[in-house]
Amino acid sequence: MRKPIIAGNWKMNMTPTEAVYLIDELKKLVADADIDVVICPPFVDLAVAKKLTEGTNIKVGAQNVHWAQNGAFTGEISVAMLKEIGVEYAIVGHSERRQYFGETDETVNLRAKAVLAAGVVPIICVGETLAQREANATELVVKTQTIAALNGISADGVAKLVIAYEPVWAIGTGRTATSEQANETIAVIRNIVKAIYGKAVSDAVRIQYGGSMNPKNAAELMSMPEIDGGLIGGASLRAADFAAVVNYDKR
Binding site for ligand PGA (CB under 6 A): 9, 166, 171-172, 210-213, 231-235
Q: How far is the CB of 55 from ligand PGA (least distance, A)?
A: 27
Q: How far is the CB of 241 from ligand PGA (least distance, A)?
A: 10
Q: Which is nearer to ligand PGA, 4 or 234 (CB)?
A: 234
Q: Which is nearer to ligand PGA, 182 or 232 (CB)?
A: 232
> β-pairing, 36-40 with 58-62?
parallel
Q: Which is nearer to ligand PGA, 177 or 201 (CB)?
A: 177
**Buried b vs exposed e over 184-220: b needs ≥16 C-beta within 10 Å?**
ebbbbbbebbbebbeeebbebbbbbbbbbbbbebbbe
Active site residue 166: yes
Gap between the Cα atoms of 158 and 32, Å rounded: 29
Kindly name the residue from 66, 94, 96, 128 that is annotated as catalytic: 94
Kindly name the residue from 96, 103, 166, 226 that is annotated as catalytic: 166
Q: Which is nearer to ligand PGA, 42 or 211 (CB)?
A: 211
Tell me which long-range contacts 242-245 makes (C-beta under 8 A, separation of at least 24): 242/6, 242/8, 242/26, 242/30, 243/26, 243/29, 243/30, 244/215, 244/218, 245/6, 245/213, 245/214, 245/215, 245/218
Active site residue 106: no
Q: How far is the CB of 218 from ligand PGA (least distance, A)?
A: 11
Q: Which is nearer to ligand PGA, 40 or 201 (CB)?
A: 40
Find, among 142, 75, 83, 169, the residue nearest to 118 by Cα. Answer: 83
Half-sphere exposure of 89 (CA within 13 A, CB side): 27
Cβ–Cβ under 8 Å, residues 156 and 181: no
Q: Which residue is nearest to ligand PGA (CB)?
A: 233
Find the length of the chain.
251
Q: How far is the CB of 39 from ligand PGA (least distance, A)?
A: 12
Q: How far is the CB of 244 from ligand PGA (least distance, A)?
A: 13
Residues with a catalytic annotation lie at: 94, 166
